Amino acid sequence: MSIVAFKLTGDYAHFSHPATIYSSLSYPIPPKTAIMGFLGALIGEEEHYRLRDIKYSIRVDKEIVKKSFVFNGIKFALSSNMHIKEGYQNASDKKQFYRELICSPAYTVFVDLSLLAQAYQKKITQYLKEHKTAFTPYLGINFCLADFEWIEINKLEKIEEDFSEINTFTLKDDFEFDIENYGVKLTTANMACDVEEGRVFKDFKEFIVEIGAKNAIKSKNRDNIYQINEHRVYFV
């Protein structure tokens, strides 16, 4: 396998449902499509759907805290109701837009590059290690700038157990409730796992995410769980 790991942080993040630009809510973690976009920005690949063959996993490093903010906008910026010649705008055309932000997001991202072309693998690894990008990386939307830090992988082992404690997300169908984990902060997220040319998002899957950044959860092992350094990681 060709697995890379890195820290992904920022002041704010917003990961909206990819089917709409009007959703005010944010996923708690970056979907696979957002990681594809991040890696595309890293190496200068504008058609980030070309990176669809990656497998990935996310660990929440800091408890998810969300805040909402509102900004004023114009519903029909170029409409005749602007009254440009008269020098005023009809107040009824103004609208407030709400957006949910994740505050001080911090994630550990694991990416399996094995199925990508060697040129992609080499460039992504190089740019992560050297902390350089071709385009400006961000966390979901363009005013949420992203920073990242390479993580050296010193231990990599496949887990053979049928069920395992993990430190990342898992698919809802593979999640195993454990009474000992009572009180663990969990949420679900229905996120796209593939995108085609033209930004056609598809292959939506239901995830279970531990958002408290403290506890492991239990998951069925579909030959996709690895021990990476001190973490057990579920890839999808």
pLDDT in tens, 72-100: 766 555 555 555 566 655 656 667 778 89
Higher pLDDT, 82 or 7: 7
Give tens-digit pLDDT for 96-122. Answer: 778 899 999 999 999 999 999 999 999
Confidence category of residue 9, pLDDT binned at 50, 70, 90: very high
- Helix %, strand %, coil % of the chain (to 5): 15, 40, 40
Q: Give me 206's structure tokens.
A: 């239901």
Q: How far is Cα 224 from Cα 175, in angstroms, rounded to an integer?
A: 14
Task: Inform me whether the pLDDT recorded for 60 exceeds 80.
Answer: yes
Q: Which of 59-63, 77-81, 142-146, 198-202 has the lowest mean pLDDT?
A: 77-81
Closest-CA residue to 6 (of 102, 107, 87, 85): 107
Confidence category of residue 32, pLDDT binned at 50, 70, 90: very high
Mean pLDDT of 17-31: 81
What domains are there in the chain, each with its CATH number? 3-65+104-234 (3.30.70.3120)
Closest-CA residue to 218 (of 186, 170, 173): 170
Give pTM, 2 decimals.
0.89
